A and B are shown apart, each in its own frame.
Chain A
């Protein structure tokens, strides 16, 4: 019996070593930083993985990638992920990842720290054209790992029919918190509330920003969740909700603010520029106007979100991948994307053109001047989702309790 066990054990260890060998070979662990160290195996086709919002986005990206491939006499395929985190992780673990992919800033720290990402920032000559706050959220440990694919900000979207039905005019657009409170009250009827947004930091954070706070400081180096400013912002949210003129979208039975707004359950919502596509597709009869969020005690404030183009360290053709990303962030492709699925370019040089093409959405791109980002340190996304889970209970909880707990959790990360 013992002998058999020994045989089994040794067989197993041989298989394990074989497996280890498979995974271990085929890539170098030191990160290439200068261009002569970059891999450039052009025999294989370049793979692109995207998390698409729908057919318009998929088709636009496919078209752009094909344009690049034809120009460079290469083969490239675009696939749409159903769960991009899982698919990227599988690729990195197996040692044969997708070459180019959408990269969310809150995932960046995890992938970068394991050495899965190529820090190709120094290959991009025009990176100073990008908004610096965007580049900062795509930087880990002093290295730029991705350049922004697009950017979004949050602003106030109002239902113009409900607005005029409540006897309000364009002179009544709220400039301050107290004006917001009063218009929200005037817009509240038995059928709908005045204002709605989702119970998550990515909406509630606008109030914290308007009060001069946020979960982390502007440089993203220190937790400021329970600062006096952040507390002021969250207290304002609680005040709005307690007044009955404002409700979280989940309390209205909607998945997000856009759904509550589109179905007429709310007269105003705080959402990003993606809401316009959704309103056009799902609720074409709703008339709306986008205005800037009112100022708080510390002036204007909003939140920005971005997605980067990531490149895998284990890609056999890093040079080709960089060339593709450069092409995908050129002005003509950016404007194609903007037309196809309503994105805003993260490149400040394109802002004027974009604003000219979409004057109705100007408040969104203007918001980039004063927007704050979401925390991007490794493990921060768990803390933010914990913060979100507490926000759902804001009605019955003191804002300070929520912020203190989040501060404690963030302190564990920003040591």
Chain B
């Protein structure tokens, strides 16, 4: 904000006070604001105002005609939030279903895509690998392709007579009718164990109009096919982030670990991964945000079907507004989604924060530090010297 170019002597602040150049701070501020103005206006018109408008719509009975700020639109308080969160009915159970689907989706997609992209990055970062450029491009390619195109491709691959089922049939497996199979993966598992109906405790009680048994049904086969697609497309982007992080890590630590006799897995988990923590944090955060906002794949692929098992809050918000003319509800859902994303990111931050050291460890490190400070320069340099009796003495003691 402060431009010091007007003052040639700014490098030596102490000496500049006796020169007669006076800085006009007001003019500097005005020019600074003028430089920022285009961006502020753009952000205001295309970001802030729409958000505030949507927030207003979520508290109003706007019917979709004319401006939401016109006189015919009334403030109806929490009515729209109430009908999706509290009042039993179709709006509530649709919202509950969407949250259920998306929770499973996030729970499975985020860890899997993070792991996959990390492994790809580690593999492609090895100096021994030939044709690195080719592989990086190949893995990154799905990320730059339009999600619509990939979805169409996926619908072909996973069709009931598509390539995936054709390959499965070579092994004698009768593949599912992927995008039309509403059964939950966990419920399929349960049914193999002979449990087809949940206990009354789970089927009679529930949350958001959905019974606990349905919450626990797992993602449907159709949703699972979408999950595979998303992992396939996003891991390329996250792989690039991990590669960038890996390349900024010095090789010294790894070489030291090699000298200590670690194997490749130990080096990956105990040396490389801890150093990647900031990148992992970024990737997981972006993953959580991205998975809660899944829309394109649903809109072009399944439109919520089969049996609403691929309905997500983002798509529900769209269809509530545009298909059912429930603009307030649509806006309310999108703000609930916003809160979910913020809360989940916060929780994730708390989990990934650096652990506080135990008191004993803090005390130990403090003692170590004060001991080192207590040593005079001379004795410290003597410590480094060869054949120092003190050192020998200490080492001898340590060996005892």
Contact = CB atoms under 8 A, between A and B. Distances in A.
Interface of A: 12, 15-17, 19-20, 22-24, 27, 29, 83, 85-86, 89, 92-93, 95, 107, 110-111, 113-116, 250-253, 313-314, 378-379, 381-383, 386, 389-390, 392-393, 409, 412
Contact of A250 (B45, B64, B177, B321): B177
A203 to B, nearest CB: 15
B64 A116 contact: yes
16 contacts: A15-B45, A23-B67, A24-B66, A89-B64, A89-B321, A89-B325, A114-B65, A250-B180, A251-B177, A253-B159, A378-B325, A389-B304, A389-B306, A390-B307, A392-B306, A412-B89
Contacts of B67: 19-20, 22-24, 95
Contacts of A83: 322
B214 to A, nearest CB: 12
A389 B94 CA distance: 11
B325 A16 contact: no
Interface stretch (B68-76, B236-244, B281-289): B68-76
Contacts of A314: 65
A93 B64 contact: yes
A392 B182 contact: yes
Contacts of B48: 12
B90 A383 contact: yes
Given A114-B325, A250-B306, 5 more contacts: A16-B69, A19-B67, A24-B70, A114-B63, A412-B89
> Most chain-A CB neighbours within 10 Å: which of B67, B160, B305, B307?
B67
Interface string B47-80: 0110011000000000111111111100000000
Given A381-B323, A381-B324, A386-B94, A19 B69 contact: yes
B90 A409 contact: yes
B65 A116 contact: yes
B364 to A, nearest CB: 44
Contacts of A12: 44, 48-49, 52
B10 interface: no
Contacts of A409: 89-90
A382 B48 CA distance: 32
Which 5 residue pairs of A and B lie closest in terms of their CB atoms, listed nearest first? A23-B67, A253-B160, A110-B325, A20-B69, A114-B63
Contacts of A89: 64, 321-322, 325
A95 B70 CA distance: 12
B267 interface: no
A251 B177 CA distance: 7
A85 B66 contact: no
Contacts of A390: 307
Contacts of A113: 63, 325
Nearest to A22: B67
A170 to B, nearest CB: 33
A89 B161 CA distance: 38
Contacts of B304: 389
> Most chain-A CB neighbours within 10 Å: which of B52, B161, B323?
B323
Interface string B312-355: 00000000011111100000000000000000000000000000
A85 B322 contact: yes
A74 to B, nearest CB: 26
A382 to B, nearest CB: 5
B197 to A, nearest CB: 10
> Most chain-A CB neighbours within 10 Å: which of B70, B177, B321?
B70
Contacts of A20: 67, 69-70
Nearest to A110: B325
Nearest to A380: B324
A110 B324 contact: yes
Contact of A253 (B44, B63, B66, B161): B161
B49 A24 contact: no
Contacts of A412: 89-90
B44 A115 contact: no
A172 to B, nearest CB: 31
Contacts of A250: 177, 180, 306
B70 A393 contact: no
Interface string B175-198: 001001010000000000000000
Interface string B106-127: 0000000000000000000000
A322 to B, nearest CB: 20
B308 interface: yes
A412 B90 CA distance: 9
B318 to A, nearest CB: 8
Given A24-B67, A93-B65, A253-B180, A16 B306 contact: no
> Most chain-A CB neighbours within 10 Å: which of B72, B91, B325?
B325
A29 B307 contact: no
A313 B90 CA distance: 31
Contacts of B89: 409, 412
A140 to B, nearest CB: 12
A313 B91 CA distance: 29
Given A12-B52, A392-B182, A409-B90, A85 B69 contact: no
Contacts of A382: 90-91, 94, 324
Contacts of B49: 12, 15-16, 19
Contacts of B159: 253
A24 B326 CA distance: 20
Contacts of A251: 177, 180
A250 B306 CA distance: 9
Contacts of A381: 323-324
Interface in B132-181: 159-161, 177, 180
B44 A95 contact: no
Given A16-B49, A89-B325, A251-B180, A389 B66 contact: no
A17 B180 contact: no
A382 B329 CA distance: 13
Contacts of B44: 12, 15
Contacts of A95: 65-67
Given A16-B49, A389-B308, A115 B324 contact: no
